[in-house]
Amino acid sequence: MSNQEKVLSFDSNRALVRSDRTIGAILVEEGKLSAREIERVLEVQRTDGERFGEAAVRLGLVTEEEVRFALARQYDFPHLAPGAPGSVGPSRELVAAFAPFHPRTEELRALRTQLLIRWYNPEAGRNALVVTSPDAGEGRSYVAANLAIVFSQLGARTLLMDADLRNPRQARIFGRPTSLGLSTMLSGRMEHKAIFPVAGLSRLSVLPAGPLPPNPQELLSRPVFAALVKDLQSLYDVVIIDTPPARAYADAQSITFRAGDALVVARKNHTSVEATSRVIRDLAGTGARVVGTVINDY
């Protein structure tokens, strides 16, 4: 199967473009424009020959960000609208969701393309990817979250699992409570009720870490975790797994052994080559495959 066929097979019944909805209609639905304001924009369009969005921005009726949001909706491209200042919700760290035209989002799409070419092969059971890093503060959770988003925007049923049972971040990034998650599932409670869909990103679900257990290494080493990963691989097209720092804890090795593939994140001018090489050797020693290294610059 070619890589293009794999991309299209994610959701072959999904309409690629919703051309029946205009940008003006979407902005009205979102409460950004009134019927009277639509007429003003259309008049400018007729007079000056501008695009609808350009005219609406020039008139000061909407912002460029609101037009980009409407354009994404028109093309059925999952995209989160910015919330009101001070509002509680997903973090702006989710650049791929809030700013789909940002240069950093394009870099994430390029990473997704490389993974589709070099890693993704669901027929061979290769659709679960661990995202780890040598130490804390290297952007591992940021990369995992945004990578899950860009896969979901491609039409893939995507699950982001937070397997960092030491200092988890995904619940905070997505603005969710921490009372349920992976730890409660591994302890035999709640089953799949701990997995929640992300509003506005229709193909993305998140499994937070849940309450911090006293025995994370033991929970992640039990057969129940291996069975859970295999089960989730059958339910989702792509499973992205966040982990604790690989040099600080052996958890990342246990998780990678069960998932099969890993992506190592290193921070520019922060992570040493020796630390990165050691983590790659340790993960490869589990029999898993390290599919690549991402250099994060921030």
Task: State pLDDT tens for residues 106-118.
Answer: 999 999 999 999 9
Contacts of 28 (CB under 8 A, 6+ apart): 34, 35, 38
Pairing of strands 128-132, 196-198: unpaired
In a domain, 14, yes or no: no
CA atoms within 13 A on the CB side of 133: 22
Same-domain check for residues 70 and 99: no
* 58 shares its domain with 200: no
The tally of domains found in the chain comes to: 2
Residues 144 and 280 in one domain: yes
Same domain, 65 and 213: no
Look at residue 83 and tell me if it is in a domain. no
Is the model's pLDDT at 204 over the cut of 50?
Answer: yes
**pLDDT-based confidence at residue 88 (cuts at 50, 70, 90):** low
Please state the rounded mean pLDDT for residues 279-290: 95
pLDDT at residue 84, rounded to an integer: 47
- At 241 the pLDDT is 98
Which residues span the domain enclosing 259? 95-296
Claim to verify: residue 47 and residue 150 sit in the same structural domain: no
The encoded tokens of residue 205 equal 């679900």
Instruction: Say yes or no: 50 and 121 in one domain.
Output: no
Whether residue 40 is found in the same domain as residue 147: no
- Residue 158's nearest CA partner among 68, 250, 233 is 233
Give domain status of residue 201, yes or no: yes
Residue 176, Cβ neighbours under 10 Å: how many? 17
CATH code, 141: 3.40.50.300
Q: Are residues 100 and 64 in the same domain?
A: no
**The model's pTM:** 0.81
